[in-house]
Structure formats: structure tokens, C-alpha cells
Amino acid sequence: MKILCLTYKSVTLELENNKTAYFAPAEFTVTLNGKAVKKTGKNVFSLFGLGSGKGYTVEASGERAEFVLPAPYAEADVKLFGARGDGKHDDTDAFAAAINCMPAGSVVTVPAGIYAVGPLFLKSGITIYLEKGARLSFRTDREKYPVLPAVINCADGTLNFGTWQGEEADCFASPLYSYGQKNIAVIGEGEIDCNAADGDWYVNHRVKRGAWRPRGMFFNRCENVLVQGVTVKNTASWNIHPYFCKDVKLYGLSLQNPPEMPTTDGVDPDCCDGVEIIGADISVGDDCIAVKSCTLEAAEKYRTACKNITIRNCLMREGHGGVVFGSELSGGIENVLVERCIFDGTDRGFRIKTRRGRGRIGKCDGVNFSNVVMKNVKVPFVINMYYNMGDENGHTEYVWSTKKLPVDNRTPEVGSFCFKDVLCTGVEYAAGAFYGLPESPIKRVELERVSFTYNSACEAGFPDMREKNEAVKNIGLDFRFTECVRLKDVTFCGVSGEKVLTECVGETEIN
């Protein structure tokens, strides 16, 4: 049993003695210092309300862990600063006072209650602890949300406060926002309810109205960020957006948006180095996890890949995609590990969305999946280099042409991908759609011990979004413009037609 993190008030642990995805083989009892405290069936679990500076022994599923919690410099209840928690009184100023007054290494505790607040700005060294029953209920009036400017000038260049879909842009401050801070944490069993559906955030949601929509939690150029245990829901756009951050830990979260809420991704690591998303339960109106690295202009300016990403023991229910790259990925995406996860009912499983015009400042490379279950996923694997959504540029001949065009700084590059021990049931349109460019083929795709079982009762549909498309049903793995394909112990049950379709594919090995 691995200790993922210790805070002043909590611990998160992960069972390593089995290889099942997200759920343990059976429900088990967790004991704390010999006393049963909870039952769970998940591989990742947290305990809250622990005493700072105290020693503990946890036993679960035949495993044991011992630890001593650190002690904070100081701890204060937000009600000492005037917060009422009655759901009516505006508690924003009380929270701001508590966060700004408490010195680094301190805890601001939020007891049970409903706290009506506007955007809150987090500070280095402060832990926000939401006790069970505590709910931050954010205002729905956009006039309560200050605007973060895209860039302002400074002594050695510019400062970038706001962003939208890979570009520097004015955006409304997020309910929880932090710029350039270190050692910040939001933990607990409470809720962060952004109440987006009760406002006008989804009226003409693709049109900029003063500024772009806020995320639920936006960490901009921060280091050592921890979000543990909390529920984040009803967000105006993405739930959690780490942007140019280092060492981000997201453990045991619940990210929930109704499926009809548009562009409400779960977690979107963006130009980050070192992100762990472990034990999350995600059900949203767009991609569950979308890894990003800017569009071309910003990528040329910052030249920063999104890299060293671990996604483990997560459950992704509802959503356009499970783990998605892009479509803003011009800076490159490197070294991504996805293991022991369940995708249940997402439209796609693993998906890359890119196109000509995104550029080759960095490439997508070094992606590994292992021990993953996909249930009722229409297309488990997609690499689409003709993605036509996002703006009018996606519908041009430059994007959809399958002719070999000149390679320049606008040409995307896609590297190597390895998928092992993946069980796919209820497949609808295709087992996989791999669409490379003739001038920039996909480098390598490897599948080993992967099985596909089909839903024969489904309707035909498009494997992915591209301009020149055709509806299909129950087809196999479709490779186009790919340099190397390696398939070992890949099985199909209920496939229509050929199991493996190839067009302009180089080296092929099927065992």
C-alpha cells in the first residue's frame, strides 16, 4: 500500500497488491490505529480529519502503512474572519482575509456549511481544508468575476494571466485562481460548486462576451500544487486547468458536470511538467482528461511541451473522450503513462486531435497505456491528423487534403504509442482509427494483448471528426499513413469485414 500524499489533515493511499483498474477485486474495510473507519472498493482512498503531528497506522486489504502527519505553522477557521456559511451572505471578503492573513505553512479550515462566494485567489504555502459538508457556492453573475488580461508588459517581457483554448486571451477569473504561487493545496471532503448552469455562461458559449469563460480551478505557472478529495462540479468550462505548472498532484477527486454542459472538460494539463491524476472519478460534458500545449503562436513564443503525465486508477464516465491530446498541442506532448483506468461510456477512449496548422514546435511521443478497460466506448483508439473542429480553419482544403503537402512549421508531428493489456467491450464504429498525414505519417503504433468485442445493435457513425468522412459500423483497426504497425495477441469478436485495414502503411507486423 503506497502513501501518495500526507497533509496536515489527511492521507491518500493506493493499493498496489492487485492489478485491477480503479476498483479493487472486492470491498474491504479500512482501519485506522486498529479502529474500522470506512469501507471502500476503490484502489485509491483518502482519510480526512486526522490530527496534525500525530502518528497513524492504516490497514486495508491485508496491507499496512504507518506515517506521522506534519504540523502546520497555524490553523484558523474561516468563520473567525467573518464567514457565515449560511448560503446567503457574501463570504468572499472573509475568505480573502483568511487567505491573505495566514502565513505560509498554515491551514484555513472551512467547516460544514454553504458559503456564497465570488472568485478566490490562492496564496503560496496555504492549505484550504474543506471539511465534510462544506460547500463553496460560487456566484452566477459574471459581473462578480474580474477579468484576467491576456498579457501585460513587465521589465523582462510580458506576463500572461489569461488564456483560452491554447492562446493568450482575456478570461474571467476562475472560482479558484492562482498565479505564480508555490506549495498550495485544496483538500477535503467538501464541494466546489461553480453553479454555471444557473448563470448565463452557456448562452452563446462559443462567443467571447467581454472575456472568455472561467475554469473551475485555474493554476497558472504554479509549483507543487495539491488538490485532494474534493468534488468540483457545474463549471463554466474546464473543471481543473493547470497551465505552465510543475509538480501537480490531483488525488481522489470527483469531477462532475452534466453531459449536456458544453466544453466542460475534467482536467486539462497544459504545458505542464509533472502531473499526477490518480484515483479520479470524472463524468463531464466534454473530454474527461485533455492534455494540451498551446496553439502555434503561443507554442512558438514559449516552446514548452506538456510532459511527464501519469494517469492511474481513474474512472471516466460520460464525456467525448477518456484521455485526449489536443487539439491545442503545438508545443508537444511527451512521456504520458495511463494505467489501471476504466473508460465507461465515453465516445472515444484514447484520442489525438490535431491538424495542419498546429505545427511541429514539439511532437506527441512516448505514450503508454496498460491495464485499461473500455466499456461501451464507440471508438477505443483514435489518432486524427485532420481534425476539423474548433474554428473555421478546420474546414479548409489545407486541413482535409490527403495529398502530400510541403512540410513546414505548420505541419504536426506524431510519434510512438504503445497500448498493452486493454479490454474493449461494446465497440460501435471502429476498434481504432489512425489517420496520419502523407507528408507526416504517424511513426509507430503498437498494440499487445488487446481485445475488441462489438455491439452489433449500434447505428453507424463517424470514427472521428474530419471533413471527408464516412459512417461505419463494427469495423476493425484502420491505419492510414502510418510508418510502423505492430500487433500482437490482438483479438476481435463481432468485427465486420477485415480486422486490420491499411492504406499507405510501412512496416507491418501481426502476430
**CA 47/CA 58 separation, integer angstroms:** 10
Q: What cell was used for 491?
A: 483479438
Catalogue the E-assigned strands of 262-406: 273-278, 281-283, 289-291, 306-312, 315-317, 321-326, 333-344, 348-353, 364-375, 379-384
Please tell me which residue in 320, 344, 347, 365 is annotated as part of the active site.
320
Q: Are 239 and 257 in contact (CB under 8 A)?
A: yes
**CA 177/CA 502 separation, integer angstroms:** 47
Q: What cell was used for 429?
A: 464504429
**CA 111/CA 91 separation, integer angstroms:** 13
- Least Cα distance to 499 among 443, 439, 427 occurs for 427
Q: Are 401 and 437 in contact (CB under 8 A)?
A: no
- Helix, strand, or coil (residue 441): coil
**CA 109/CA 83 separation, integer angstroms:** 11
395 has catalytic annotation = no
320 has catalytic annotation = yes
**Which H or E run includes 302?**
helix 296-302
Q: What cell was used for 243?
A: 497551465
Q: What's the distance, CA 454 to chain centroid?
A: 27
Number of helices (H), then strands (E), belonging to the chain: the values are 3, 44
Measured on CA atoms in the order 57, 59, 62, 64, is the torsion positive or negative?
Answer: negative
Please tell me which residue in 247, 265, 273, 286 is annotated as part of the active site.
286
Identify residue 448 by its one-letter amino acid code.
E
Specify the residue for cell string 495529398: 403
Which residues are CB-contacts of 35 (< 8 A; sequence separation ≥ 6)?
A: none
Q: What is the set of active-site residues?
A: 286, 320
